[in-house]
Structure 1
Amino acid sequence: MATVGPLELPLDGIEAVIFDCDGTLVNSMPYHFEAWCEALEYYGAANVLKEDVFYAMGGRPTKDIVVDLNSDYGLKLDPEAVAMKKREAFLQRLDRIELIDEVVEHARNLRGKLPMAIATGGKRLVIEKTLQAVGVSDLFDDVVAAEDVTCGKPAPDIFLHAAKLLGVAPEKCLVLEDAPAGIMAAQLAGMTVVSVPAPLNLATS
């Protein structure tokens, strides 16, 4: 398992917990970046997505990022085609994904005590396969994915929808997130946010 070090959750007054998936619950971001590189190279746009930019954009829907790349680099990439290729490339790497130990430990400890959901900028198919691959599908009451809302992170929609499904007021929800867009989305939803740092084996000095 990957590790991020001690992670304290402020649970006073909290009635539900919402987890991001990639980079928060599972150490999958390096493999998402590899998949992005493979997809962009396939469509003749190698090296346009720098690694630091990728991490800054974490949590945002794939097609939104392609639209930004088209604008920034004068490209004409088909967002749907790139997203499909990127998804295919990522699914081929599922066997390399690890749980982030401290986050999963909290989820297991809270199971049955508080309702919990996943709220992700990823597609439902990919997230469900990811959760199955690491064996934690049964920990969560609901999964909210990119296709469940009109506006992805950093808009608050995905977290507000998760709170609605769980039947808990947004201000009584705690969110665990690693990416700037996700943290902003949770804050805009009026929720308490715990920022999950990069896994120690990946963190830069």
Structure 2
Amino acid sequence: MTKFSDIKGFAFDLDGVIADTARFHGQAWHQTADEVGTTWTEELAESLKGISRMDSLQLILDHGDHADSFSEKDKELLATKKNLNYQKLIETLTPEDILPGMLEFIRSADDNGYKMSIASASKNAPLILKQLGLTEYFVGIVDPATLHAGKPDPEIFVRAAEVLGLAPTAVIGLEDSSAGIDSINGAGQVSLGIGDDKVLSKATLNFKQTSLVTLENIKNKMTN
């Protein structure tokens, strides 16, 4: 098992890990579901976490048995409209929206010489980081538009380690979705799940909430 002393960097998911932009995704996707006639449920909302925009749209269409009702052009228009609605919402973000403890953790990691990158399915990650005032802390952001497959495929976290110039075993990936944990594990990194340990049962490490994520707590979990 990887030792804490082996860790040199962190790859972060964004929504639900650094800021609760997931609620904005939920609002925007809910609008899309209403538009196409799909009933919005908590189960559907949960299934959209951590996956790409077009895959999310397809799930919404499948959930309402509308898979064959929209052309590819229609789908592109729906996805674009959703993203415009989402962008309007995230433009209201400020540093006050950073989840509890994450600013302190990011600053601590930076102060201690750890490299950090973003591995988010969101194409709006640069805008979100800017709104939160966090851009300077990250070496780079994986562009999801350049990926061949989304989470749970490991590609995005493989790329996140490459951005850092680190071997996978030297990186801890932080996620709040089961698809994201699968992606981290598939990339050969240490997976740190934030949330319900039953939902994130495949995570190497688990913290119930962001406020518990500290270098010391991670070290303790990796030692015990």
TM-score (norm 2): 0.76
User: 1:86 aligned to 2:82?
Assistant: yes
| Structure 2 residue aligned with 1:117 | 117
For the structure 1 residues 74 and 134, does the alpha-carbon distance in structure 2 shift closer, same or farther, using more than 3 Å as the test?
same
Structure 1 distance, partners of 2:191, 2:176, is 10
For the 8 Å contact 2:48–2:59, the answer to whether it is kept is no
Aligned-pair identity in percent equals 25
| Structure 2 residue aligned with 1:4 | none
Structure 2 distance, partners of 1:103, 1:197, is 14
Which amino acid counterpart does residue 84 of structure 1 have in structure 2?
Answer: T
Q: Give the secondary-structure state (helix, strand or coil) at the position aligned to 1:153.
A: coil
In structure 1, the gaps of 5 or more residues are 1-9, 201-205
Which amino acid counterpart does residue 50 of structure 1 have in structure 2?
Answer: T
Residue 185 of structure 1 and its aligned partner are, at CA, apart by: 0.6
For the 8 Å contact 2:126–2:135, the answer to whether it is kept is yes
Residue 57 of structure 1 and its aligned partner are, at CA, apart by: 2.7
Higher fraction of helix: 2
Residue 83 of structure 1 and its aligned partner are, at CA, apart by: 1.6
Structure 2 distance, partners of 1:139, 1:63, is 29
Residue 47 of structure 1 and its aligned partner are, at CA, apart by: 4.3
Alignment match of 1:193 (pick from 191, 194, 204): 191
Bigger relative contact order (CA 8 A; separation at least 6)? 1
| Structure 1 residue aligned with 2:129 | 131
In structure 2, the gaps of 5 or more residues are 197-207, 210-224
For the structure 1 residues 191 and 49, does the alpha-carbon distance in structure 2 shift closer, same or farther, using more than 3 Å as the test?
farther
Which amino acid counterpart does residue 180 of structure 1 have in structure 2?
Answer: S
Which amino acid counterpart does residue 129 of structure 1 have in structure 2?
Answer: L
User: 1:62 aligned to 2:60?
Assistant: no
Query: Which has more radius of gyration?
Result: 2
Structure 2 distance, partners of 1:186, 1:142, is 17
User: 1:25 aligned to 2:18?
Assistant: yes
Structure 2 distance, partners of 1:158, 1:135, is 23
Aligned residues: 187
TM-score (norm 1): 0.83
Cα RMSD for the two superposed structures: 2.0
